[in-house]
Structure formats: structure tokens, C-alpha cells
Structure 1
Amino acid sequence: MVGADIGGTSTRVAVADTSGRVLARADGGPGSPVGVGLDRSAAEIRAVVDRALAIVAADGAAAEVRAYVLGMAGGSQAKDNPAFAAAITPDRIAASPWLVSDLAVAFCSATSAEEGYVLIGGTGAVAGRVVGADVVAWSDGMGWLLGDIGSGFWLGREAVRRTLLALQSGAALSPLNRAVVAAAGSADYTTLVSRCYAERPTALGRFAPLVSAHVADSPEAPAIVAEAASALAATLLALAVEPGLPIVLGGSLLAGPTPIAAGVRERLAELSNPVLPAGPGALGACWLGLRSIGVASREVHDRLASRR
């Protein structure tokens, strides 16, 4: 199986055998067609896939690639595009590329279940109900201008906005405010505003980690975290979550032990659903490939996810 997770900041590829053993991994730069266009997307994907397959070949494995699955955000312009499919497929791969949602591969990275929910908190914020390889319902994911409440962009914007309010009023700057000023390179109100507007809007996400870093020493940071956690939990719960189905938390804000992940888990604690952290999306793509050829045992998924 060749599985890929294609995003706006990175391209990650994994190769696994039918027992769930991971044979190779390779990473590259941005690969989402939305961010870099179809031609650059195809070139980056092909380059990273070639590197992963070269690792497998160097180890002496020359087996047939039986499935080629790519999880991709905003992949609609690439789907069912014969030229794109040809450009991303090395000669060694006879299987046709199968493009699925990045939400589906995030869900499958954490569980062998065929149905459940996934909540992603990264630069953006979105939740979806996954059935098989399809996202049959979703919530938020409307982008920085119209939604993505509680996302990395939203957190970064809040950190900067509250710093600007402190500068406007002449109040003493909190440690979070001072960290924002240091990261932006200016404590001057007008200059800080100008520098933020000079960048692409989603670049405000770079200030997001400062919020978690200053939860213990800045009064506004816990308030921002609490608001983000409530918003993210509400995004998921808007899907009318059915009891018992797994919920997978993914993205930089939720997959690890962050204050926001803890807040979301606290707000979901009354549900009967198991809440799981997402793993590498490329492995979730490999799992979809395995299922497509009839391999669906939990033992294989556990091995693929390195739990056994």
C-alpha cells in the first residue's frame, strides 16, 4: 500500500505491506492544490512518493503496489483529473490513485472502525462524520474569513488582537502580550497592525502556540483556550453525535497533550463515545488501501498504527 497525506504545509507518504508493517516513510513540502496549484501539487506528491518507494527498493522489497490512496484537503479540483492522476503516479504503481478527504485518513489513522467522527483543530477547524472512506456530514471548515472557530488562525488572531487592545489602552503587557510583540518584532501599535496586514491572513496562526505557552502566567490565555475548546467541541456536537461511535481528534491543537485538547476532552467527557488521538494521516491512507483489498482486521490496523 502507498498512502499519502497531502496538506497545505507538508506532503507525507507511507508504504506498508498487507500485514500492516510500515516499510518506508518520506516527507516533503506543501502539496495541496488549493495552496500551490495542480502542477506544483502533482510534482511534489510524485517526488515524495518516489522517495518512499526508493527506500523500499533499497531494502530489497519489490512487491506489487496494490493500492495508492491520497488524503487531500481541498482535492476536488484534482479528483477525476486524468492528467493529475498520471502526473502523481510512478511507473512502478499500477493501481490508480484514489483521492479521499483528509478527514477520512485522519479518522482511519486512529481506529479500524468503519464509522465515526473526526474533529480537526489545526490552522483551520472542521468536524466530519466518516462512513467508510466518505465524509457524509461536516461542520464548520468554512475557512478563516467565515468560520474555523477555535482554529490555530483564530487563536493567533486572538493573541494579537488582545495585545493590540493592551497597547491601545496603555495597560501593562502580560507575558503573552510581550511574547506576541517579540514574535512580531515591534511593540508599536501601528507597526504591529501593519505587519499583520502585510502577511497572508492565515499567517496569524504562527502566534497560536504562544497562547498555550502562557496559560499559566497570562490571565487572557486561559480565557482564549476555554473559548477555543468550547467552540471546537460545539463544532463536533453540531453533527448530532451518535453514542458509541469513535471520535478522533486531529490537528496540531488536538492530537497531542495541549491545553485545548484537554479542554475539548473535558467537554466531551459525558459522551459514551471513545475519544482517540489521530496518528499520521499517511498511515490512515494505507489503512483505507488495505480495506479496499479486503484486509480489515483490527490486528493489522494496530500493527500499522504501531500499537503492536
Structure 2
Amino acid sequence: MTVTLVLGMDIGGTSSRALVADVEGHVRGAGQAGGGNPISRGLAGITAIRDALRAATAGVDPADIKAAVFGLAGGEVAMRTPEIVQALETGWRQAGLLCTPAMVSDVTLAYVSGTDAADGTVVVSGTGAVAAAIRDRTVMRAADGHGWLLGDHGSGFWIGREAVRAVLITLDRDGSLSELNRQVLRDLGVPDADRLAGGRTLTNAIIETAHRIPPPELARLAPLVLTAADGGDQEATLITRRAADHLTASVNVIRQPGATSPIVLGGSLLTTPNPLSRALRTSLGRTWPDTKISTSGEGAAAAAWLASRHLPDISALASRQLYTRLLTTKGS
């Protein structure tokens, strides 16, 4: 029997997830592979996208998939790159898709997965950071999201860089390294601090090591800082508060005073309880006290729901029910 299916994909720098569902909200297939962001991983990331697609569609007839949405990190830039567009098209044709997927940004997915409201605000902090005003589930304005070199204030990268800078400042002042400082050095693989003590030997080792690491990888230090802040470390707490201030400032750029539309927190640093997410909630709550603040959910499910909105015969009631089943009950 012919069924109508929809496909959603959330293509990020860390992982690529695909989900196939019917219009009643039953999950018919799911797949996961490595990072597929073509901006950071180049065309090699297309392999991960194809792997996730194959896994998700293995148990269904691809011809039954009538609509699809791909959420893509760096989507606007990627979709202006002919080689990437051609590789994506080859990938979905190889998976047997007859429909042409629509492309949205990962920021849109973060928002949609956190609320069914058409208009609102989303702020994301993972490796990078961005805040965006959403109108009719489309990004209308954005603040930051400028990448590690030019922005991403309050992101995992920013926090990691500040943690390294804190070590260097301590050494410049001839102070004693804290336990957090030592944890940062161990994670970076810098040789034992005691052995290199004296003069600028240790400082030079840190600088040389940090410059050999691809800058976005400094984001891996963020959990160390947040854990230390949870334990009362003053330096970590200060970095965390400054990160929350930066994210709040980005929201202030694109959100009107007195707005009551929802705010969605997305990204790995804001979707789990930690000092940063708590500080940001408190800060946003002071400025917009009448606003509901929620966290983003499953991006691939959000993409599948967005795909269903491209179907010509789905009613508003059916669309709302599908949203509830896919994004509130996680398709169960």
C-alpha cells in the first residue's frame, strides 16, 4: 500500500542525522553518520550525508517520500557553492529520492525543534554562536555567527580561547597555576607545567601548541570551564558570566524590548543544565520576563515536520498533531 512519507535531515559539523516519518507521526526510519557540514569538512562530508540517508531509507520505498527538508550548518553559503549543490543532488538521487529537498539553516531547525510558534527568537551556542529573529519559521535577522576569527562571542570556541588566555595571563603575572589552568594544559597536551617552569618557556610552549590546533577545536575546553564554574572556580565563573553577557547582547540586537514571543536555546552548551545555560536564562528572563524560554530538540524531526508543510493536502490540525508526535513525544 502506498504511504506518504517525509524526510528530515540535520547536517552538522559533528554528526548528520536523518529521519523518515509518515504523516501520522510514526518514525519509519532513522540514520546517523559523521559530520556532514560541507563548509568545515568539504566534499568529504557528503559521504556522511549519503550514509545517513541510506540508513534512514533502508526499510522504506524512497518513492513514497513526497517531501524532504535538509537543515545545513552554514546553509546559505553552502547552497551558493555549485560543487556542494551537485554533490548533495547526487547523494539524494543515489538514495532514490524523487522529490527535491528544500534547504534551511541549522539555526532554523534549532528554533523549530524548540517551539511550534511561527515567530520568536533563537540563540545558539555550540562550537560557534549566533542569535536570530525568526518570522514564519524563517531567519529574518541574525546577530553574530561570524565564525571564530570575527565573532562567535559566547561560543564553545570563545570559552576555550578565554581559558587558554587565562593561563597566559596568570603566567605573565608570575602567578601560581590553578587546577583549571592545569586541566587546560593537560587537555592541550602541553608538557608538564612544573618541568617547564621558569622564564617564558611554558608560555612559549602554550602559544606554539595552541597555534597548531585548528581554532574551532578549542571548543573542547568549554566543558572543563563549565564544570569548574559549577565547582565554584572564580576564574571559570567569570568566563562563564562573560559568555552569557555576550549571548545576551546578541539577542538584544535582534529582539525588541517588551517582546513576548518565545526564545529557544540551542547548541550543545545551552541545551543541558550548566552554569552558562542557567546564567543566560536568568539574564534573558530579566530583560523579557513574560517570555517562555525553551530548549531545542531533535533537529532531524524538526526538518521532517517542516517537510510535511510542503505537502499539498495536510491540514493545519494534522500538521499540529504531527508536530506534537514528532517533537514532543519524539515519535513514540
**TM-score surpassing 0.5?**
yes
CA distance in structure 2 between the aligned counterparts of 1:62 and 1:35, rounded to whole angstroms: 29
- 2:9 is matched with which residue? 4
87, 106, 109: which is aligned to 1:84?
Answer: 87
- 1:118 is matched with which residue? 122
Does 2:42 match 1:28?
no
- 1:189 is matched with which residue? 203
Q: Secondary structure at the match of 1:156?
A: helix
Please report how far the alpha carbon of residue 120 of structure 1 lies from its aligned counterpart in structure 2 after TM superposition: 0.5
Please report how far the alpha carbon of residue 22 of structure 1 lies from its aligned counterpart in structure 2 after TM superposition: 2.5
Asked if structure 2 preserves the Cα contact closer than 8 Å seen for 1:29 and 1:44, the reply is yes
Asked if structure 1 preserves the Cα contact closer than 8 Å seen for 2:70 and 2:104, the reply is yes
139, 142, 145: which is aligned to 1:138?
Answer: 142
Deviation sequence 1:88-124 (CA, Å, 0-9, x none): 2145321101111111111111122222111100111
- 1:224 is matched with which residue? 239
Structure 1 length as normaliser, TM-score? 0.92
CA distance in structure 2 between the aligned counterparts of 1:145 and 1:62, rounded to whole angstroms: 41
CA distance in structure 2 between the aligned counterparts of 1:165 and 1:78, rounded to whole angstroms: 38
**Percentage of pairs with the same residue:** 38
Asked if structure 2 preserves the Cα contact closer than 8 Å seen for 1:43 and 1:87, the reply is no
Compared CA separation, residues 269 and 78, structure 1 to 2 (3 A)? closer
- 1:203 is matched with which residue? 217
Does 2:82 match 1:68?
no
Letter in 1 for 2:208: S
CA distance in structure 1 between the aligned counterparts of 2:132 and 2:25, rounded to whole angstroms: 26
- 1:266 is matched with which residue? 282
Q: Secondary structure at the match of 2:207?
A: helix
CA distance in structure 2 between the aligned counterparts of 1:91 and 1:165, rounded to whole angstroms: 53
With 90-99 and 158-167 compared, the bigger mean Cα shift is at: 90-99
Larger radius of gyration: 2
Letter in 1 for 2:179: P
- 2:226 is matched with which residue? 212
Asked if structure 1 preserves the Cα contact closer than 8 Å seen for 2:121 and 2:255, the reply is no
Q: Secondary structure at the match of 2:309?
A: helix
CA distance in structure 2 between the aligned counterparts of 1:258 and 1:185, rounded to whole angstroms: 26
With 254-263 and 176-185 compared, the bigger mean Cα shift is at: 176-185
- 2:261 is matched with which residue? 245
- 2:301 is matched with which residue? 283
- 1:303 is matched with which residue? 325
CA distance in structure 1 between the aligned counterparts of 2:88 and 2:204, rounded to whole angstroms: 48
Deviation sequence 1:239-269 (CA, Å, 0-9, x none): 1246221111000111111211111100111
CA distance in structure 1 between the aligned counterparts of 2:183 and 2:127, rounded to whole angstroms: 20
Structure 1: gaps spanning 5 or more residues = none
Compared CA separation, residues 265 and 217, structure 1 to 2 (3 A)? closer
Letter in 1 for 2:284: L
Asked if structure 1 preserves the Cα contact closer than 8 Å seen for 2:62 and 2:95, the reply is no
Compared CA separation, residues 211 and 295, structure 1 to 2 (3 A)? farther
Across the two proteins, how many residue pairs are aligned to each other?
Answer: 303
Please report how far the alpha carbon of residue 133 of structure 1 lies from its aligned counterpart in structure 2 after TM superposition: 4.3
Structure 2 length as normaliser, TM-score? 0.85
With 154-163 and 165-174 compared, the bigger mean Cα shift is at: 165-174
- 1:256 is matched with which residue? 272
